[in-house]
Amino acid sequence: MAMRAGKLVTGEESVIDSVRKGEAKLVIIAEDAAVNTYKKVSDKCLTFGVKVVQYGSRERLGASIGKESRVTIAVADSGFAKMLRKSLENRTEVEDIG
């Protein structure tokens, strides 16, 4: 939904740029991202106060937005970001039970 609404930014440099501009409300990084990529993006998010979560593989992250593999995604809408954070938190709780 967020992709169709034009509220997602993908790609490391585009994501970092959206964080700097204050547009990103949530950043999602693939769990198989390179250590340097994770550090670069998460450090920038920390500096600008943007929540970062890790989710799935790059293939799974890309598939979740109807694209090829993606390592980083920024959500540029507060409503979508809140909904995704809640969904990802619930997913983690369910995985912890199993």
| Residue 98 vs residue 47, higher pLDDT | 47
Kindly report the average pLDDT of the chain as a whole number: 85
The answer to whether residue 98 scores a pLDDT higher than 60 is: no
Predicted pLDDT of residue 91: 63
Whether 79 contacts 52, CB under 8 Å = no
pTM for the structure as a whole? 0.84
**What percent of the chain is predicted at pLDDT more than 70?**
86
Whether 8 contacts 81, CB under 8 Å = no
